[in-house]
Amino acid sequence: MEESSNGRPDAANWRKEAVDWAKALVVAGVLVVVIRMFLFSPYIVDGPSMQPSFHTAERIIVNKIMYDIRQPERGEVVVFHSGFGADYIKRVIALPGETVEVRGDTVLINGEQLSEPYIQEPVDTAAASGGTYNNKDYPPQTVPEGHVFVMGDNRPNSHDSRDIGFIPYEQIVGRADVVIWPLGSIRIIGHD
């Protein structure tokens, strides 16, 4: 910054620098709004329904454009508008046109058992004590076009498609891609 003859910063240069800073802040603000509205958004996990995969108060980044490019796939963790005044986080289990059934700890898709490595440990623990991890069966139903069937990983404590029905694509906010908080839990989210 140039100084005037009396050793103080020139007022015109000070104003120019202030205007440049203001422009930069406005551009940064617009970028933040655009990114949050259309591309990515932070969410906080609230409740135990996705344990052991996710825990209450974990912060995740949701990719909001993924499903503008393609449809959800089995195993992906999605955030959706539940219609109960909150957004839910659940795992996609069955896709349009598939018949889904839940019998104890067995999930059947078109009559074939679904492999679910993300809940294998609690399922094995429940089996070792003579019980089942899941406490809600679900009779065979075919997923309608434009919908998915979702379940929480914490099967005994999840309000999911077994209770609320199939989730329309238009209610899906996006795919959970990254856990960003707490620091010890930072990770890319696997979608097996």
Known catalytic residue: 90?
yes
Catalytic residue among 53, 90, 158, 161, which?
90
User: Using CB atoms within 10 A of its CB, is residue 151 exposed (0-12), middle (13-18) or buried (19+)?
Assistant: buried
Rounded distance between C-alpha atoms, residue 48 and residue 73, angstroms: 23
The owner of tokens 């598939």 is 98
Q: Which tokens in the block code for residue 110?
A: 């078109």
Q: Which tokens in the block code for residue 25?
A: 């802040």
Known catalytic residue: 53?
no
Instruction: Identify which of 66, 65, 86, 87 has the alpha carbon closest to the alpha carbon of residue 76.
Output: 66
Catalytic residue among 4, 16, 41, 49, which?
49
Which residues are identified as catalytic?
Answer: 49, 90
